[in-house]
Amino acid sequence: MKIFISKNVRVILIQTLLLVLVSAAFYFWKGLPLVVIFAVLWVDKAVLSHLKIHGEFGIELFSIPVILSGIIYGPVFGFFFGFLIFSLVGGLIEMISWFISQPFEVGWPPVIPSPESFIIGLMGLTAGLLNDLPFTLIVLIAVVMRNILAPAWQRITTDEPIRMAYALNVVYNLALAFVAGDFLLGIVTRGF
Protein backbone atom coordinates (compact mmCIF):
# COMPACT_ATOMS: atom_id res chain seq x y z
CA MET A 1 0.00 0.00 0.00
CA LYS A 2 1.41 3.36 -1.05
CA ILE A 3 0.55 6.50 0.89
CA PHE A 4 0.21 9.64 -1.23
CA ILE A 5 1.42 12.87 0.33
CA SER A 6 0.91 16.04 -1.68
CA LYS A 7 3.87 18.24 -2.59
CA ASN A 8 2.72 21.05 -0.30
CA VAL A 9 2.48 18.68 2.67
CA ARG A 10 5.97 17.30 1.91
CA VAL A 11 7.32 20.84 1.72
CA ILE A 12 5.84 21.79 5.09
CA LEU A 13 7.07 18.55 6.70
CA ILE A 14 10.63 19.07 5.47
CA GLN A 15 10.53 22.73 6.45
CA THR A 16 9.32 21.69 9.90
CA LEU A 17 12.20 19.22 10.21
CA LEU A 18 14.61 22.01 9.27
CA LEU A 19 13.03 24.27 11.90
CA VAL A 20 13.41 21.56 14.56
CA LEU A 21 17.07 21.00 13.69
CA VAL A 22 17.92 24.71 13.60
CA SER A 23 15.93 25.37 16.79
CA ALA A 24 17.72 22.53 18.59
CA ALA A 25 21.11 23.93 17.58
CA PHE A 26 20.19 27.45 18.69
CA TYR A 27 18.55 26.14 21.89
CA PHE A 28 21.93 24.89 23.06
CA TRP A 29 23.54 28.19 22.04
CA LYS A 30 21.01 30.80 23.22
CA GLY A 31 18.20 28.93 24.99
CA LEU A 32 14.42 28.66 24.71
CA PRO A 33 13.62 32.22 23.55
CA LEU A 34 15.32 31.60 20.22
CA VAL A 35 13.27 28.42 19.71
CA VAL A 36 10.08 30.49 20.08
CA ILE A 37 11.50 33.13 17.73
CA PHE A 38 12.25 30.44 15.12
CA ALA A 39 8.77 28.97 15.52
CA VAL A 40 7.21 32.32 14.62
CA LEU A 41 9.66 32.65 11.72
CA TRP A 42 8.65 29.18 10.51
CA VAL A 43 4.96 30.17 10.48
CA ASP A 44 5.93 33.14 8.30
CA LYS A 45 8.18 31.31 5.85
CA ALA A 46 6.52 27.89 5.71
CA VAL A 47 2.83 28.55 6.27
CA LEU A 48 2.07 32.13 5.20
CA SER A 49 4.20 31.82 2.06
CA HIS A 50 1.91 29.04 0.81
CA LEU A 51 -1.08 31.36 1.18
CA LYS A 52 0.54 33.83 -1.26
CA ILE A 53 -0.54 36.93 0.67
CA HIS A 54 2.88 38.25 1.70
CA GLY A 55 3.58 40.92 -0.87
CA GLU A 56 0.14 42.23 -1.59
CA PHE A 57 -1.37 42.73 1.85
CA GLY A 58 1.70 43.41 4.00
CA ILE A 59 1.03 40.35 6.15
CA GLU A 60 4.21 38.81 7.49
CA LEU A 61 5.54 37.45 10.75
CA PHE A 62 9.28 38.00 10.37
CA SER A 63 9.35 41.49 11.88
CA ILE A 64 8.27 40.37 15.35
CA PRO A 65 10.95 37.61 15.65
CA VAL A 66 13.67 40.00 14.51
CA ILE A 67 12.48 42.63 16.98
CA LEU A 68 12.29 40.05 19.79
CA SER A 69 15.83 38.86 19.04
CA GLY A 70 17.09 42.44 19.41
CA ILE A 71 15.19 42.99 22.65
CA ILE A 72 16.21 39.70 24.26
CA TYR A 73 19.81 39.31 23.05
CA GLY A 74 20.84 42.91 22.39
CA PRO A 75 21.34 45.15 19.36
CA VAL A 76 24.36 43.33 17.89
CA PHE A 77 22.65 39.94 17.95
CA GLY A 78 19.42 41.55 16.69
CA PHE A 79 21.30 42.89 13.68
CA PHE A 80 23.12 39.58 13.17
CA PHE A 81 19.83 37.66 13.40
CA GLY A 82 17.99 39.94 10.97
CA PHE A 83 20.84 40.28 8.49
CA LEU A 84 22.41 36.83 8.43
CA ILE A 85 20.46 34.15 10.31
CA PHE A 86 17.10 35.27 8.95
CA SER A 87 18.53 35.18 5.40
CA LEU A 88 20.06 31.74 5.84
CA VAL A 89 17.11 30.02 7.51
CA GLY A 90 14.50 31.82 5.40
CA GLY A 91 16.47 31.03 2.25
CA LEU A 92 16.78 27.36 3.14
CA ILE A 93 13.06 27.12 3.82
CA GLU A 94 12.30 28.80 0.48
CA MET A 95 14.76 26.51 -1.35
CA ILE A 96 13.01 23.43 0.07
CA SER A 97 9.74 24.74 -1.30
CA TRP A 98 11.37 25.54 -4.63
CA PHE A 99 12.95 22.10 -5.09
CA ILE A 100 9.93 20.03 -4.05
CA SER A 101 7.02 22.06 -5.26
CA GLN A 102 7.45 24.42 -8.13
CA PRO A 103 10.04 27.01 -9.13
CA PHE A 104 9.27 30.61 -8.29
CA GLU A 105 11.01 33.90 -8.84
CA VAL A 106 13.12 34.64 -5.78
CA GLY A 107 14.61 37.93 -6.96
CA TRP A 108 17.79 37.44 -4.91
CA PRO A 109 19.79 34.26 -4.22
CA PRO A 110 17.95 32.62 -1.29
CA VAL A 111 20.68 32.15 1.34
CA ILE A 112 22.75 35.24 0.58
CA PRO A 113 21.95 38.37 2.60
CA SER A 114 20.49 41.12 0.45
CA PRO A 115 20.12 44.88 0.91
CA GLU A 116 16.63 44.04 2.24
CA SER A 117 18.35 41.74 4.79
CA PHE A 118 20.49 44.69 5.87
CA ILE A 119 17.33 46.72 6.45
CA ILE A 120 15.83 43.83 8.44
CA GLY A 121 19.06 43.68 10.46
CA LEU A 122 18.70 47.40 11.22
CA MET A 123 15.24 46.60 12.58
CA GLY A 124 16.77 44.12 15.08
CA LEU A 125 19.51 46.61 15.96
CA THR A 126 16.94 49.35 16.57
CA ALA A 127 14.83 47.07 18.77
CA GLY A 128 17.90 46.19 20.84
CA LEU A 129 18.79 49.83 21.34
CA LEU A 130 15.22 50.71 22.36
CA ASN A 131 14.61 47.72 24.64
CA ASP A 132 13.63 49.92 27.61
CA LEU A 133 10.57 51.24 25.77
CA PRO A 134 7.16 49.51 25.69
CA PHE A 135 7.03 46.64 23.19
CA THR A 136 4.35 48.21 20.98
CA LEU A 137 6.38 51.43 20.67
CA ILE A 138 9.51 49.44 19.75
CA VAL A 139 7.51 47.60 17.07
CA LEU A 140 6.13 50.90 15.74
CA ILE A 141 9.56 52.54 15.47
CA ALA A 142 11.33 49.49 14.01
CA VAL A 143 8.61 48.63 11.50
CA VAL A 144 8.11 52.23 10.36
CA MET A 145 11.88 52.51 9.87
CA ARG A 146 11.92 49.30 7.80
CA ASN A 147 8.87 50.38 5.81
CA ILE A 148 10.53 53.69 4.93
CA LEU A 149 13.93 52.22 4.02
CA ALA A 150 12.64 49.19 2.06
CA PRO A 151 10.49 51.12 -0.44
CA ALA A 152 13.23 53.75 -0.76
CA TRP A 153 15.69 51.00 -1.70
CA GLN A 154 13.07 49.46 -4.01
CA ARG A 155 12.54 52.81 -5.72
CA ILE A 156 16.28 53.36 -6.22
CA THR A 157 16.92 49.90 -7.66
CA THR A 158 13.76 49.09 -9.63
CA ASP A 159 10.98 50.78 -11.52
CA GLU A 160 8.30 49.05 -9.45
CA PRO A 161 5.72 51.37 -7.92
CA ILE A 162 5.67 51.53 -4.17
CA ARG A 163 2.89 49.28 -3.01
CA MET A 164 0.26 50.03 -0.42
CA ALA A 165 1.45 46.86 1.34
CA TYR A 166 4.14 48.85 3.16
CA ALA A 167 1.55 50.98 4.94
CA LEU A 168 -0.62 47.95 5.60
CA ASN A 169 2.42 46.19 7.07
CA VAL A 170 2.82 48.88 9.72
CA VAL A 171 -0.84 48.56 10.71
CA TYR A 172 -0.62 44.76 10.70
CA ASN A 173 2.51 44.63 12.89
CA LEU A 174 1.09 47.19 15.32
CA ALA A 175 -2.09 45.16 15.66
CA LEU A 176 -0.05 41.99 16.16
CA ALA A 177 2.13 43.69 18.78
CA PHE A 178 -0.93 45.06 20.56
CA VAL A 179 -2.80 41.74 20.56
CA ALA A 180 0.00 39.18 21.01
CA GLY A 181 3.02 41.25 22.05
CA ASP A 182 2.75 40.70 25.80
CA PHE A 183 2.18 36.97 25.25
CA LEU A 184 5.20 36.57 22.95
CA LEU A 185 7.42 38.79 25.08
CA GLY A 186 6.35 36.83 28.14
CA ILE A 187 7.23 33.50 26.55
CA VAL A 188 10.67 34.59 25.42
CA THR A 189 11.55 36.34 28.68
CA ARG A 190 9.95 34.07 31.27
CA GLY A 191 9.34 30.80 29.42
CA PHE A 192 6.17 28.79 29.14
Hey, what domains does the chain have and what are their CATH numbers? 7-190 (1.10.1760)
Tens digit of pLDDT for each residue in 117-167?
A: 899 999 999 999 999 999 999 999 999 999 999 888 888 887 776 678 888
pLDDT on residue 111: 72
Range 103-130 burial, b when 16+ CB lie within 10 A, else e: eeeeeeebeebbebbebbbbbbbbbbbb
- CB contact at 8 A, 41 and 86: yes
pLDDT at position 75 is 97
pTM summary value = 0.81
Q: How far apart (Å, rounded) are the C-alpha atoms in residues 16 and 97?
A: 12
**Can you tell me the mean pLDDT for 82-95?**
80
| pLDDT in the model for residue 119 | 94
The CA-to-CA distance between both ends of the chain, in Å, stands at 41
Residue 191 has pLDDT above 70, yes or no: no
Spatial distance between the Cα atoms of 60 and 37, rounded to a whole number of angstroms: 14
185 confidence band (pLDDT: 50, 70, 90): confident
Residue 169 near residue 144, CB atoms below 8 Å? no
Distances (CA, A) of 87 to 1, 10, 92, 153: 40, 22, 8, 18
Q: Is the pLDDT of residue 168 over 80?
A: yes
